[in-house]
Amino acid sequence: MQAELSLHTEFSPPRQYRTCRKSAVCWVASHALRQWPLILVLIAGALGNAALAAYVPVIVGKAFNAVLAHPPRISYLKVAAALIAGSQILRGVLQFARNFGAEMIAQRIERDIRDEFYISLLGKSMTFHNLQSIGDLMARATNDVREVNLMFSPGLNLVIGSANFMIMPLLFAPRYHPALVLAPSVFIVAYVLMLWQYLHELRPISDEVRASFGRMNTRLAEALDGIETVKGAAQERGEALRFGKHARAFRDAFVRQGDVEARFLPLLLLGVVEALGLGHALYLFRAGALNTGQVVGYFGLLQLFGFPTFVSLFAYSQVSLGLASARRILEIINKDTPLDQNLGGYSAPMRGEVAFRHVDFEYVEGKPVLHDITFTAKPGMRVAVVGQTGAGKTTLVRLINRTYDVTAGAVLVDGVDVRDWDLEALRRQISIIEQDIFLFSRTIAENIAFGKPDATREEIIAAAKMAQAHDFIMSFKDGYDTVIGERGVNLSGGQRQRLALARAFLTDPRILILDDSTSAIDSETEDKIQRAIFAAARGRTTFIITHRLSQIRWADLILVLRKGRLVAAGTHEELMQTSEAYRRIFER
């Protein structure tokens, strides 16, 4: 199973099992069947509950006959009362077993589906995540997963329970007269046809309800994520109006669902069949084929149809919403990701040689971002990547650790195509410090040790000192145990970048990539950081994307990009003499 999963994900999941992903029904069923003991408890409880419910009108019919007998058998009423009381106590136990089994199934399936979905998201490539809305993913990971839970309990719990109630009149009616199966048979056939039409009409509306919720959640997540921009531009009113538009669309979808539910025909069918069934029983009574108690008992059996009719209005809507949510979750899980972990691939300790061989790359087919890039960086070499905004600098370095895969050509690390490396082994030996530093809402120590969770406090402090971060960390009341806000919002830009440097230094990578990582550092700190980077670069290959001349100068190799092409490569002195494009960048 691990080998199969590695073909579709960037890493091996810690726990997984085979699921059917052909359709939402097949997928949910493959999760549910793992809980087969609980399913048996659910079915047994539902069957016993329905049978004992049907037993009551039978006893009541006999009690009528006992009272109407000549002479009346009043003593039987005590027996009837005891039988009804005993049967309903047992029925309550069985109903508890049914509800317990359904709830356990629902909770376990929610847990397993959420695990599978989260693992799938972690395994998707950056190309997928760059194109996917975070708000919509959160809606699928939380609300949609919860809807699948509710599909089982109370949804399918009530469906299975009501299905057993429907078959009881068919089983018990022939004890009175074979012809009395007519009304229950007509009801069941008509009910199934009407239910099929109801679910067929409800499905697209349920899909729209879930989709509109995802769009509303996306709008909310974007507004909250960019709240500083919203407030800075005084756009609170505009954002409120946009969110209101999506909220109204969500409401309207629910109203359309309610309109379909209001036209639920089995409610009318119930009244018609009960009237026809009672009329049929009275006809047999007048013909002498039934007695009074049997008519009463039979009519009580017909009233059992009331439970499936009334609960199905809610239960099948819940099932329809659950399946719509399952389709949304499965849609994301089934989306292909071009990267895989390549378990069993090359995983030797890295020396740090990087070579690009006629590399092309495009995010969207037909729109190249990089074209025919060829160069070699020897182990321990310091490489500066320069060029105007949009030249493809960040994209180039992201090909080294397979954040993206090349469209054509090859990227080699230590002479091995990165696609032939074990992905985890490749990335474990490469550290990237990006322009947009992401810090987690955890302690400073945990953020520094993110890439090496088992690091000792001494190692964390050493990495922080190397990144010139120790002094400002100790200025906080709790030092390394200070909890920082999401994305490090309570830190300055320079402080965030120094923590990112410390995180990179701690993992001791063979290849270090700095994507304009010192842009937010003040001039007073820059010299210290420069010395820290220079010291950290010894013995490892370093790629640095920068516009700072002080960092460009000390590079062993400078790559000049222009509109996705490598127009020049060499040392600072060489390029100043041979490259007009480099001279223009340097002069600016």
The per-residue pLDDT for 368 is 87
| Amino acid identity at 283 | Y
- pLDDT(316) > 80: yes
Q: What is the mean pLDDT of the chain?
A: 86
Domain contains 8:
yes
- pLDDT(433) > 70: yes
359 and 274, same domain (yes or no): no
364 and 323, same domain (yes or no): no
Q: Sign of dihedral through CA atoms 539, 541, 545, 547? A: positive
Contact status, residue 334 vs residue 22, Cβ threshold 8 Å = no
Residue after which a domain boundary falls, among 333, 365, 395? 333
Give the residue numbers spanning the domain of 320.
2-333
Cis peptide bond prior to 174, omega within 30° of 0:
no
Range of weakest confidence among 96-100, 171-175, 312-316: 312-316
Closest CA relative to residue 186, chosen from 264, 280, 262: 280
Domain contains 242:
yes
The per-residue pLDDT for 339 is 64
Residue 180's beta-bridge partner residues? none
The per-residue pLDDT for 16 is 62
**CATH (domain of 326):** 1.20.1560.10
321 and 412, same domain (yes or no): no
Domain contains 249:
yes
pLDDT in tens, 359-381: 999 887 888 899 999 999 999 89
How far is residue 500's CA from residue 538's CA, in Å, rounded to a whole number?
18
The per-residue pLDDT for 3 is 38
The SS3 of residue 558 is: strand
The per-residue pLDDT for 166 is 92
When divided into structural domains, the chain yields a total of 2
How far is residue 400's CA from residue 192's CA, in Å, rounded to a whole number?
59
560 and 446, same domain (yes or no): yes
- Specify burial of residue 249 (Cβ count, 10 A radius: 0-12, 13-18, 19+): middle
When pLDDT is cut at 50, 70 and 90, the band that residue 535 belongs to is low
How far is residue 285's CA from residue 277's CA, in Å, rounded to a whole number?
12
DSSP 234-273: T-HHHHHHHHHHHHHHHHHHHHHHHHHHHT-THHHHHHHH
Domain contains 159:
yes
When pLDDT is cut at 50, 70 and 90, the band that residue 337 belongs to is low
List Cα–Cα distances, 558 to 111, 124, 433, 554, in angstroms. Answer: 51, 33, 19, 10
Range of weakest confidence among 118-132, 135-149, 466-480, 494-508: 118-132
Contact status, residue 90 vs residue 52, Cβ threshold 8 Å = yes
520 and 464, same domain (yes or no): yes
Contact status, residue 353 vs residue 541, Cβ threshold 8 Å = yes
Residue after which a domain boundary falls, among 333, 364, 383? 333
379 and 420, same domain (yes or no): yes
When pLDDT is cut at 50, 70 and 90, the band that residue 317 belongs to is confident
197 and 270, same domain (yes or no): yes
List Cα–Cα distances, 529 to 460, 469, 514, in angstroms. Answer: 17, 9, 12
* CA diameter of the chain: 125
Domain contains 127:
yes
CA-derived radius of gyration, the chain: 35
- Specify burial of residue 462 (Cβ count, 10 A radius: 0-12, 13-18, 19+): middle
When pLDDT is cut at 50, 70 and 90, the band that residue 4 belongs to is very low
Cis peptide bond prior to 204, omega within 30° of 0:
no
- The H helix count followed by the E strand count for the chain is 24, 10
The SS3 of residue 363 is: strand
Q: Count of CB atoms within 10 A of residue 246's CB?
A: 18
296 and 414, same domain (yes or no): no
The per-residue pLDDT for 1 is 37
∠ CA 215-218-219, nearest 5°, is 90
When pLDDT is cut at 50, 70 and 90, the band that residue 523 belongs to is low
194 and 259, same domain (yes or no): yes
Range of weakest confidence among 14-23, 213-222, 324-333: 14-23
More confident residue, 415 or 364: 415
End-to-end CA distance of the chain: 56
List Cα–Cα distances, 297 to 10, 166, 304, in angstroms. Answer: 64, 16, 11
Domain contains 532:
yes
410 and 270, same domain (yes or no): no
When pLDDT is cut at 50, 70 and 90, the band that residue 133 belongs to is confident
Contact status, residue 341 vs residue 10, Cβ threshold 8 Å = yes
298 and 199, same domain (yes or no): yes
56 and 200, same domain (yes or no): yes
**CATH (domain of 560):** 3.40.50.300
The per-residue pLDDT for 222 is 76
The per-residue pLDDT for 224 is 75
Contact status, residue 493 vs residue 436, Cβ threshold 8 Å = no
Range of weakest confidence among 10-14, 417-421, 530-534: 10-14
How far is residue 433's CA from residue 435's CA, in Å, rounded to a whole number?
7
User: What is the average per-residue pLDDT within 523-537?
Assistant: 66
Structure tokens at 54: 């049907």
How far is residue 492's CA from residue 535's CA, in Å, rounded to a whole number?
24
- pLDDT(351) > 80: yes
Domain contains 377:
yes
Which segments of 124-179 does DSSP mark as H helices, in order? 126-131, 134-139, 145-150, 157-172
Domain contains 272:
yes
Closest CA relative to residue 339, chosen from 8, 5, 1, 3: 8
533 DSSP assignment: H
Residue after which a domain boundary falls, among 333, 364, 394? 333
